[in-house]
Amino acid sequence: MPKQLIVDGTPIEVEDGTTLMHACEMAGSVIPRFCYHERLSIAGNCRMCLVEVQGSPKPIASCAMLVNDLPPNKDGSPKIINTASPMVKKAREGVMEFLLINHPLDCPICDQGGECDLQDQAMAFGMGRSRYHENKRAVEEKHIGPLIKTMMTRCIHCTRCVRYMTEIAGVEELGLIGRGEDAEITTYLEHGIMSEMSANAVDLCPVGALTHRPWAFSARPWEMERVETIDVMDAVGSSIVADVRGATVMRILPRNNDAINEEWISDKTRHVSDGLKTQRLDQPYIKKNGRFEPATWDAALSLVAEKLKSTPPDKIGAIAGDLAGAEEILALKDLLARFGATSLDCRQAGDKLDPKLGRASYLFNSSIEGIEQADAILLIGANPRIEATVLNARIRKRWRTAPTKIAVVGPQVDLAYPYEYLGAGPETLADIASGKHSFAETLKAAVKPMVIVGQGAFARPDGLAVLSLAARILLAASEGKDASWNGFNVLHNAAARVAGLDLGFVPGKGGKDIAGILGPETQFLYLLGADECDLTRLDAKAFVVYQGTHGDKGAERADVILPGAAYTEKSATYVNTEGRAQQTVRAVFPPGSAKEDWTILRALSQRAGATLPYDNLKELRAAMYRVSPQLAALDTVETRAVSGLETLAKLSGQPSSEPFAPAIADFYLTNAIARASAVMAGMSALRASKNQKLNAAE
């Protein structure tokens, strides 16, 4: 039942279960805190949130007290809470004095300066002097990992980092040892933390004990401009902030979005920024006598246009890469259509996904936020910890907060939460689909069952048959239940994949898929940032155009290189795995003479005598919305009924008995930007050496 309180003279009514801290904030009062965090368990360590409660002989920690735990007044009147009384002020000043006893006076050199909660509260409650005259305590620095720089003398033992690693990341390797003055936060056996989300602990640290090692001593927060944009390192579409100084993206931080990433991002998303400025393509190149030579835009575009016009339509192919925006995908599709070419594909990994089967057949239909409603989850050929790190944290959150049965068919890996291992390949799926397997009953008993199909299952020759099996499993489990709940989910790895499928960047009538495009018959191949495909089967005489940002695998085989813009250098539309359209925002300009990708294709069309019908981004997007109206509804997820899976479920085909293979070999090196990053290269080498040591120990 509602509880009535009077906070600083303001009467309020709050629900039972509300913390005293939140009740005070609902009344408009500001409560300082260090240890409390909305997404972590309550510790009550710092005591900075003390408030005065009528009838209590001493101040109370408001973060750890629920309003329904307050003893009632004898006359039945509402409890009076004071957050700014002399008692509270004196108590908070005492806490602050205590916290600053051993804290070093190194604010001018601390990377947390300008973003330090302790610094801010010290200005409000610090006394300007200390009664402590003994020597300050010093603590040895800890090896927490290559991404986290430690200065543990600054630590105030709020334990946010410990709780985050244990509860959110699922890596129980960080803890507090000792008591009193000897208390220290350290890792298990002094081993570095190798979680894919470890660096989020830096954001949580309210002091300068944990800072970003790759970014150390590079810039100050107030020197940079904050640009809100979208991450493209995976298909989750996490909301991020790019901090820019001059023409450089200095760092990337998470932006709160409860529907997608909450306030977490992966370590790759955060620390890939150095890859944005290394190995960049900053001017056109033409290969002559086996060597690339700088060229003008006129020369490069004229050569490409000439080759395009002279090649028969059935010998032309195009592949859209994993980081391509929807605008350039549509522009390339429209350009090739004017030359009668139908061999185009955005499914770089060989995905057996077909837009003709309906949008529900290739999306994460339950939505990322919907994971928190599932009570039974079947993972098929997916390793979300590597393929969609933040999404995996959402699954772990569901496992922690509610009884959820999780099972895996595919590679047996560490997902940071327990699961039931059912088998390695399609044979197990067939047993579940036929009802022979015990987990079929588990799914049927679930109120909201969920099936997640990863790229390791659908990016293989029998991928469509596997998808059909998964659809049949879900339809059987959903029979007689809420029809609005669609638990069939496809987990993509590439940020560009869904937009490509929405826009129909797949083989047309008589066209070849990616396997055929990369065959010896292709004479003209256009790679739109495509670096993850095998180009060895191409004819040596095939003319290859690479339009992209880095000198990676695609550029090595190219005859002409056209420098494009990275995701932080253009306004582009990306659609995440759940079908949510989002737009990036230009944070910096492309380097050198590089240009936005759609403008390159527009200029090429003019040179080729087939001018595209849009002269600016607004006109291009209008054309894009006509092709795929879903892309116009930014930041929304449409509801797709489970009945939309019936066509997929009815497909014939027998999958092979081959077990599902991992879709990603190296988490840190999944795209051209990541492979250009020195930080990601170091993390990859470290992870490889650790795995070698583990294998040797086994």
Residue of 279, 284, 218 lying closest to 249 (CA atoms)? 218
Residue of 586, 524, 560 lying closest to 283 (CA atoms)? 560
Within 10 A of 424 (CB to CB), how many other CB atoms are there?
Answer: 18
Distance CA 404, CA 388 (A): 20
pLDDT band at 76 (very low <50, low <70, confident <90, very high): confident
* 533: pLDDT strictly greater than 60: yes
CB 346 within 8 A of CB 320: yes
- Give the pLDDT confidence of 236-263 residue by residue, as tens digits: 999 999 999 999 999 999 999 999 999 9
Contacts by 621-625, CB closer than 8 A, 24 or more apart: 621/327, 621/573, 623/330, 623/334, 624/326, 624/327, 624/330, 624/503, 624/573
* 599: pLDDT strictly greater than 80: yes
CB 408 within 8 A of CB 416: no
Give the mean model confidence (pLDDT) for residues 399-405. Answer: 94
- Give the pLDDT confidence of 381-394 residue by residue, as tens digits: 999 999 999 999 99
Torsion angle defined by CA atoms of residues 12, 15, 18 and 24, in that order, rounded to the nearest 10 degrees: -10
CB 448 within 8 A of CB 431: no
What percent of the chain is modeled with pLDDT above 70?
98
Letter for the amino acid at 124? A
Q: Angle, nearest 10°, between helix axes 86-99 and 117-125? A: 130
Mean pLDDT of the chain: 93
Please name the residues in contact with 504: beta carbons below 8 A apart, sequence gap of 6 or more: 333, 355, 627
Distance CA 309, CA 407 (A): 53
Give the mean model confidence (pLDDT) for residues 633-654. Answer: 91
Q: Which residue has the higher pLDDT, 407 or 693?
A: 407
pLDDT of residue 692: 57
pLDDT of residue 639: 87
Letter for the amino acid at 52? E
Within 10 A of 68 (CB to CB), how many other CB atoms are there?
Answer: 12
Cα atoms found within 13 Å of the Cα of residue 313, Cβ hemisphere only: 13
CB 454 within 8 A of CB 387: yes
Q: Name the phi and psi angles at 685, rounded to 5.
A: -65, -40
* 696: pLDDT strictly greater than 70: no
pLDDT band at 136 (very low <50, low <70, confident <90, very high): confident
* DSSP one-letter string for 493-552: --TTHHHHHHTT-S--TT---HHHHTSTT-SEEEEES--SS--TTS-TT-EEEEEESBSS
Our CA angle for 214, 217, 223, nearest 5°, is: 110
pLDDT of residue 697: 43
Distance CA 66, CA 40 (A): 16
CA torsion through residues 201, 206, 210, 212, sign = positive
State in Å, rounded, how far the first CA of the chain is from the last one. Answer: 56
β 560-563/184-187 pair status: unpaired
Distance CA 99, CA 105 (A): 12
CB 439 within 8 A of CB 431: no
* 3-state secondary structure string across 18-67: CEHHHHHHHCCCCCCCCCCCCCCCCCCCCCCCEEEECCCCCCEECCCCEH
Return the H-helix or E-strand segment holding 554. helix 553-557
What percent of the chain is modeled with pLDDT above 90?
82
- Give the pLDDT confidence of 350-383 residue by residue, as tens digits: 999 999 999 999 999 999 999 999 999 999 999 9
- Give the pLDDT confidence of 256-300 residue by residue, as tens digits: 999 999 999 999 999 999 999 999 999 999 999 999 999 999 999
Distance CA 335, CA 341 (A): 9
Tokens of 698: 């086994």
Distance CA 571, CA 585 (A): 5
CB 450 within 8 A of CB 371: yes
CB 586 within 8 A of CB 605: no
Our CA angle for 637, 641, 642, nearest 5°, is: 125
- 89-93, 123-127, 471-475, 539-543 — which is least confidently predicted? 123-127
Distance CA 40, CA 36 (A): 7
pLDDT band at 145 (very low <50, low <70, confident <90, very high): confident
CB 374 within 8 A of CB 449: yes
Helices and strands (H, E) in the chain, number of each type: 22, 26
Residue of 313, 319, 306 lying closest to 340 (CA atoms)? 313
Contacts by 684-689, CB closer than 8 A, 24 or more apart: 686/146, 686/192, 686/194, 687/194
Name the burial class of residue 632, with classes exposed (0-12), middle (13-18) and buried (19+) by CB atoms within 10 angstroms of its CB. middle
Distance CA 429, CA 23 (A): 50
- Give the pLDDT confidence of 147-161 residue by residue, as tens digits: 999 999 999 999 999
Distance CA 365, CA 386 (A): 20
Q: Which residue has the higher pLDDT, 654 or 304?
A: 304
pLDDT of residue 694: 44
- Give the pLDDT confidence of 21-74 residue by residue, as tens digits: 999 999 999 999 999 999 999 999 999 999 999 888 999 999 999 998 888 888
CB 231 within 8 A of CB 273: no
* 672: pLDDT strictly greater than 90: yes
- Give the pLDDT confidence of 175-217 residue by residue, as tens digits: 999 888 888 999 877 777 889 999 999 999 999 999 999 999 9
Helix (H/G/I), strand (E/B), else coil: 185: strand
Helix (H/G/I), strand (E/B), else coil: 615: coil
* 101: pLDDT strictly greater than 60: yes
Between the alpha carbon of residue 603 and those of residues 71, 82, 386, the distances in Å are: 74, 67, 39
Tokens of 526: 């256009």
Distance CA 671, CA 664 (A): 11
CB 41 within 8 A of CB 61: no
- 330-339, 434-443, 477-486 — which is least confidently predicted? 477-486
CB 529 within 8 A of CB 550: no
Helix/strand/coil percent split, the chain, to 5:
35, 15, 50
* 3-state secondary structure string across 216-278: CCCCCHHHCEEEEEECCCCCCCCEEEEEEECCEEEEEEECCECCCCECCCCHHHHHHHHHHCC
| Beta-bridge mates of residue 61 | 50
Beta-strand runs (E) in 158-233: 174-177, 184-187, 210-212, 225-230
Distance CA 147, CA 143 (A): 10
pTM (predicted TM-score): 0.94
Helices (H), 449-540: 455-458, 463-478, 497-502, 514-517
Distance CA 539, CA 698 (A): 45
pLDDT band at 693 (very low <50, low <70, confident <90, very high): low
